DNA sequence: AGCAGCTTATGAAGATTCTGGTAATTGAAG
DNA sequence: CTTCAATTACCAGAATCTTCATAAGCTGCT
């Protein structure tokens, strides 16, 4: 699960990020209006935490932008300006929840969880692909109706491949989606290789009709076989 | 996938090119009307990004030219002049999409991807040639219904030959299509020779009724035998 | 024909990337 | 702290792609 935190106060930001990362979310941040806009357009998130009192632009404009993009993530507004107007404006613009400052971290987690759960229900149906069934809600995968136990990374990778079926997935894109954007140019891709290897082994062991094909020098592609 | 970017502002151009190259597209550029015309006539592209407000000629004229050439690539118009007229004129002249400035890079990528995908689906069916069958979507090649395993480069070369059947293919054109324009005048063509050699060997081993004929001093030609 | 100067072909070595095994590290749970 | 699973690192070998050296072929010239 990938979360974007838009917040300008460094302390607060740090706090939120640490606590979310402790819960195993992949967290990215934006401290300014522009940075936020860029991230929103570049990557896909499952949930966005938005402080609407940013220094260089109104956070509500970001909401507007998100709505126009027709994106599918959940949005939780965080604000110290606890006016009813702000709240109404935010929810009208499609925010999923509103969290007044100050708040307790546990409260934040609960809201995030609830938004993610709600979102999941909306799009919740089995994804079928060959003899494979994926239940995004339970994060479970079935091959011929027997359960395939995947680790977190393996599952994330598989789901990313599935949502990019027949499309080419660059190693950097895969890396950014599954590991967050801390990936460096200079980094090796050993951890990707390792995970791909394990995923392939498990898929093969259950005779899934899927193949992760390597494209030399570029990345991978998921094929039905 | 080869993309031509026609754009006169250096910053913007640089930006676009970098981002597309990061996605592993082969990118070429033209900053003026004349340069664009030349490239269009000389090479084949899978997609063209066209800024219609060029300094030395109306970008729409390029669209017109493309249409008359009956070329098969996708065209995305980029423009800061966001008048409805421009948009309508562009789409009427056969553009596939219209992207108003300013835009976010991710938006651009999405459009490019979508145009390329659409194009691919249109032309997606088995290509038959002698006793050879090519499935462009799966990137597979069959000779007498047995699979012929080709590497990426070998496949790219074969497909380029096939799409230029009976036509003469210059080494530079082939090189630029398969390797992109990182090819230098000073470069040798050893890698082309090597790949051609391997491709020929594989075609011969499976007794494909195809022959890659060298034309001394000019290039190659694919013949049915 | 014979030769010079070029282009093309070929096999082998080199470089890079990918694979699949194993091992080390990290992290969570008891 | 210990234990077990998850994740990452390391490595040898395979596959892919490029470079290199050298051979062979073509063209125009005398």
B152 shares contact with chain A (CB less than 8 Å): yes
Q: How distant is C1' of C6 from CA of B156, in Å?
A: 28
For residue B215, give the H/E element and its range: strand B210-215
Contact criterion met (CB < 8 Å) for B23 and A170: yes
Residues of chain B with pLDDT under 50: none
Question: In terms of pLDDT, which residue wins out, A83 or A206?
Answer: A206
The pLDDT of residue A223 is 86
Contact criterion met (CB < 8 Å) for A216 and B23: no
The pLDDT of residue A82 is 64
Residues B74 and B159 in one domain: no
**pLDDT tier for residue A38 given thresholds of 50, 70 and 90:** confident
User: Chain A 15-54, CB below 8 Å of chain B: which residues?
Assistant: 37-38, 41-43
Residues A114 and A149 in one domain: no
Average pLDDT, chain B: 81
Residues B115 and B131 in one domain: no
Using alpha carbons, select from B196, B93, A46, A65 the residue that is nearest to residue B77: B93
- The range of the structural domain enclosing residue A76 comes to 2-122
CA separation, residue B90 to residues A40, A94, B68, B80, B98 (Å): 29, 34, 14, 13, 8
Domain boundary among A58, A87, A122: A122
A149 shares contact with chain B (CB less than 8 Å): no
Average pLDDT, chain A: 82
What CATH number is attached to the domain comprising A178? 1.10.10.10
- The average pLDDT across A153-175 equals 86
Residues B14 and B106 in one domain: yes
Q: What are phi and psi of A214, to 5 degrees?
A: -85, 135
β-bridge partners, A213: A221
A214 CB inside 7 Å of strand C: yes
| Strands of the sheet with A26-30, listed across from one edge | A26-30, A2-6, A47-51, A74-79, A97-100
The pLDDT of residue B58 is 75
Q: How distant is C1' of D6 from CA of A70, in Å?
A: 36
Contact criterion met (CB < 8 Å) for A37 and B104: yes
Question: Which segment of A107-121, A140-154, B4-18 scores lowest on mean pLDDT?
Answer: A107-121
Residues B73 and B136 in one domain: no
Tell me how close the Cα of A42 comes to any Cα of chain B, in angstroms. Answer: 5
The pLDDT of residue A165 is 74
Q: How distant is C1' of C27 from CA of A22, in Å?
A: 11
Residues A109 and A134 in one domain: no
Domain count, chain A: 2
What CATH number is attached to the domain comprising A68? 3.40.50.2300
Residues A150 and A57 in one domain: no
Domain boundary among A122, A142, A177: A122
B16 CB inside 7 Å of strand C: no
Residues B146 and B111 in one domain: no
Residue B102, token pair as written in the block: 């300013």
Contact criterion met (CB < 8 Å) for B105 and A170: no
Contact criterion met (CB < 8 Å) for A216 and B152: yes
Residue B153, token pair as written in the block: 């480069």
DSSP annotation of A41 reads H
Residues B71 and B158 in one domain: no
**pLDDT tier for residue A6 given thresholds of 50, 70 and 90:** very high
Question: Which segment of A24-33, A75-84, A137-146 scores lowest on mean pLDDT?
Answer: A75-84
Residues B100 and B159 in one domain: no
> Highest mean pLDDT: which of A91-95, A210-214, B18-22, B54-58?
A210-214
Residues B97 and B189 in one domain: no
Domain boundary among A122, A141, A161: A122
Residues B6 and B116 in one domain: yes
């Amino acid at each position: 699960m990938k979360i974007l935190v838009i917040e300008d106060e460094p302390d607060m930001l740090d706090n939120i990020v640490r606590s979310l990362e402790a819960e195993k979310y992949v967290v990215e941040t934006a401290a300014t209006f522009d940075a936020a806009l860029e991230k929103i357009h570049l990557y896909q998130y499952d949930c966005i935490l938005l402080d609407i009192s940013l220094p260089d632009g109104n956070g509500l404009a970001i909401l507007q932008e998100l709505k126009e993009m027709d994106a599918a993530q959940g949005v939780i507004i965080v604000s110290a300006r606890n006016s009813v107007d702000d709240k109404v404006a935010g929810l009208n613009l499609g925010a999923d929840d509103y969290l007044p400052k100050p708040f307790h971290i546990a409260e934040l987690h609960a809201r995030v969880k609830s938004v993610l759960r709600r979102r999941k229900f909306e799009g919740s149906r089995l994804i079928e692909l060959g003899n494979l069934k994926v239940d995004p809600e339970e994060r479970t995968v079935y091959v011929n109706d027997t359960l395939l136990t995947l680790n977190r990374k393996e599952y994330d990778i598989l789901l990313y491949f599935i949502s990019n079926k027949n499309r080419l997935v660059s190693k950097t894109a895969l890396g950014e989606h599954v590991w967050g954007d801390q990936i460096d140019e200079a980094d090796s891709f050993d951890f990707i290789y390792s995970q791909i290897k394990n995923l392939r082994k498990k898929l093969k062991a259950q005779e899934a009709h899927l193949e992760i094909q390597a494209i030399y020098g570029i990345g991978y592609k998921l094929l039905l076989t």
